[in-house]
Amino acid sequence: MINKLKIVPALLTDNCDTLVSMIAQAKSFVDWVQIDLMDGRFVPSHSITPEELEALQPEINWEAHLMAEKPERILSHIKNAGARRAIFHYEATSNHEYVIDKARDLQLEIGIALNPSTPAAALRNLASSIDCVLFMTVNPGFYGAKFIPEVLDKVQSFRREYSSIDIGIDGGIKKDNIRKISATGADSACVGSAIFLSGNPADSYHNLLKIANS
């Protein structure tokens, strides 16, 4: 049986006022979002900073997607900002257990994101210690990056091996590929540009949800 796919709006900006506006839009149709943080080193782009996010105190339930080196340095900021979960990149650190332990100490849920080129086998010794896995279907760092369909095979294989862990897919997701994403058995799809760069974010969200689960 295929899971019912959740759509998680992904918020990416380097401007605090824009983020406030995106949150206000999102609150009209969802109660959970992902806020992307980029440091300009792990990925070439910059976003709003952890310190700005802490000062902002987003008024919605949210998780942080940390596209940043040394993710352990960011965890306390996002916890203070009200995040429920942090997702850091496998490729951003060599000490994954330390990041996981620090998140647990802060009472944050914790997940790991995998870039398209990283094999799922990299998580073999970590999967039992985390709450979720986020498979990137783009090379991260930009809204509107090109979708890499080969990642979906990796997701399906991981789902067969790990039936209970929460699986998300992130990047390049649009109405023409959302059914394929749903068919992988993933639990959620993180969608940015196809929602927020459309003329009507709420309509785009509901349309994606309908297509995914039809």
Kindly report, residue by residue over 88-140, the tens digit of the pLDDT.
999 999 999 999 999 999 999 999 999 999 999 999 999 999 999 999 999 98
Using the predicted structure, report yes or no on whether residue 142 has a pLDDT greater than 90.
Answer: no
Dist CA 3 CA 134 (whole Å): 16
H-helix segments, the chain = 16-27, 50-56, 75-81, 96-105, 151-161, 178-182, 193-196, 201-212
Using the predicted structure, report yes or no on whether residue 144 has a pLDDT greater than 50.
Answer: yes
Return the pLDDT at 55: 97
Residue 22 located in a structural domain? yes
Overall average pLDDT of the 19-23 stretch? 97
Return the pLDDT at 145: 76
Residue 96 located in a structural domain? yes
pLDDT in tens, 39-79: 999 999 999 999 999 999 999 999 999 999 999 999 999 99
Overall average pLDDT of the 5-16 stretch? 97
Residue 1 located in a structural domain? no
Residue 81 located in a structural domain? yes
Average pLDDT, the chain: 95
Choosing from 17, 36, 39, 153, which is the catalytic residue?
Answer: 36
Return the pLDDT at 141: 75
Which range of residues forms the domain containing residue 190? 6-212
- The domain that holds 141 is classified in CATH as 3.20.20.70
Residue 52 located in a structural domain? yes
Structure tokens given for 172: 């390049």
User: Is 36 tagged catalytic?
Assistant: yes
Amino acid at 103: A
Residue 124 located in a structural domain? yes
Q: Which band of pLDDT confidence, cut at 50, 70 and 90, is reported for residue 1?
A: very low
Residue 202 located in a structural domain? yes
Choosing from 170, 176, 187, 203, which is the catalytic residue?
Answer: 170
User: Is 170 tagged catalytic?
Assistant: yes
The total of structural domains in the chain comes to 1
Return the pLDDT at 143: 64
Using the predicted structure, report yes or no on whether residue 3 has a pLDDT greater than 80.
Answer: no
Dist CA 74 CA 213 (whole Å): 35
